[in-house]
């Protein structure tokens, strides 16, 4: 585990650190590797570029921990505008939107967050797109899965996200698999205590493999979100062994992370979807990417030092 992870995740919550970084002026070049841009038009251009390479997209309007009604409603408006724009350009069919429930006010008003998510889901469905509910910190896992299940009663295509780092996840995977859900499996991006989460990388990877087996073996749709060559190999081997075809499952990666590998997997005929974040609230997202990988931190430091 990266020893700086805790400090970087703390910086993710600091507006003072963000202001300092922005004032250096290198921000744009650093951010644009991992973020499509600040506007809906930026997101659309990115989706078009990916589609040219045969890659699908799941688009995330950046923002989290919104506690006021106006902010939560603004998140809904941003997604509705995005879906309308995707439709207008003929890009909506097969697209996916990734939504964080805290950006819809989950912590202040769970029922309101559910209704806002339902509005986005309805718009996505009408446009021919799908929706995935991102998973956030472990204190929100129960509330998030509860809402995903409520949403599935309206539109069963809505996808849940599970984090292999959590001790509970294998059981959650088994339950969602039995329900026939679409399930994105990731390792988990939040700092969690030993009471709820595996702390060692080997344990997280072992959990990921167990969950992969549960999902790929069942009549559900696994969305395998990882950049880890070992996890990708495990998933492709298992998918072939159980006779899954590319439409039955997919690999998902983040924008800017291992782009050559995204193309290589696509060239093998596998379904590959890229997570495309956009919007002004890029700070927390960028910090989580830096916390994951020291090499990303070095990239960030070099760009800051060059003041590009
Ligand atoms: C599509 C998608 C959606 C996600 N949604 C969520 C979510 O809803 N909630 C959540 O908590 N987390 C989410 N995540 C983040 C996830 O939980 C991990 O934090 C993140 O993906 C890093 O884990 P990893 O599986 O890629 O493997 P890691 O253990 O970080 O990396 C393993 C190996 O992958 C390779 N690798 C990783 N990054 C790079 C790189 N930049 N360049 C070259 N090689 C690299 C290296 O070989 C590395 O050793 C999502 C991730 C993806 C891809």
In order, the DSSP letters of 136-160 are --GGGHHHHHHHHHHHHHH-TTPEE
The closest-lying atom of ligand 1 relative to the alpha carbon of residue 252 is 1
**pLDDT tens across the length of the chain (308 residues):** 555 566 656 666 666 666 666 655 555 666 788 999 989 999 999 999 999 999 999 999 998 789 899 999 999 999 999 999 999 999 999 999 999 999 999 999 999 999 999 999 999 999 999 999 999 999 999 999 999 999 999 999 999 999 999 999 999 999 999 999 999 999 999 999 999 999 999 999 999 999 999 999 999 999 999 999 999 999 999 999 999 998 899 999 999 999 999 999 999 999 999 999 999 888 878 887 877 776 777 766 666 665 43
In order, the DSSP letters of 18-45 are HHHHHHHS-HHHHHHHH---SSHHHHHH
CA-to-CA distance for 92 and 128, rounded, in angstroms? 6
The closest-lying atom of ligand 1 relative to the alpha carbon of residue 134 is 8
CA-to-CA distance for 13 and 204, rounded, in angstroms? 25
56 lines ligand 1 (CB under 6 A): no
List the one residue out of 189, 68, 86, 73 whose CA is nearest residue 131. Answer: 86
User: Inter-axis angle of helices 40-52 and 69-88, to 10 degrees?
Assistant: 40
Catalytic (active-site) positions:
134, 184
């Amino acid at each position: 585990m990266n020893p700086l992870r805790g400090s970087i995740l703390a910086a993710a919550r600091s507006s003072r650190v963000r202001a300092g970084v922005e004032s250096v002026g290198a921000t744009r070049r650093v951010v644009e590797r991992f973020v499509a841009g600040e506007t809906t038009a930026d997101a659309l251009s990115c989706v078009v570029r990916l589609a040219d390479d045969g890659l699908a997209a799941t688009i995330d309007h950046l923002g989290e921990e919104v506690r006021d009604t106006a902010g939560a409603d603004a998140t809904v408006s941003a997604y509705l505008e995005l879906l309308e724009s995707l439709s207008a350009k003929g890009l909506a069919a097969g697209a996916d939107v990734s939504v964080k429930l805290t950006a819809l006010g989950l912590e202040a008003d769970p029922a309101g967050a559910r209704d806002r998510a339902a509005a986005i889901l309805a718009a996505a469905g009408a446009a021919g797109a799908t929706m995935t509910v991102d998973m956030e910190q472990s204190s929100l896992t129960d509330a998030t899965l509860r809402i995903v299940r409520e949403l599935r009663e309206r539109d069963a295509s809505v996808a849940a996200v599970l984090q292999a780092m959590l001790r509970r996840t294998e059981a959650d995977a088994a339950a969602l698999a039995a329900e026939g859900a679409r399930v994105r499996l990731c390792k988990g991006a939040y700092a969690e205590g030993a009471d709820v989460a595996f702390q060692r990388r080997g344990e997280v990877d072992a959990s990921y493999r167990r969950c992969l087996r549960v999902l790929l073996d069942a009549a559900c749709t696994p969305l395998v979100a990882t950049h880890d060559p070992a996890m990708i190999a495990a998933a492709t081997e298992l998918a072939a062994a159980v006779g899954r075809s590319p439409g039955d499952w997919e690999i998902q990666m983040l924008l800017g992370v291992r782009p050559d590998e995204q193309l290589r997997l696509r060239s093998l005929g596998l379904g590959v979807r890229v997570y495309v974040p956009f919007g002004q609230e890029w700070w927390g997202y960028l910090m989580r990417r830096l916390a994951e990988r020291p090499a990303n931190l070095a990239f960030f430091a070099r760009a800051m030092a060059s003041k590009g």
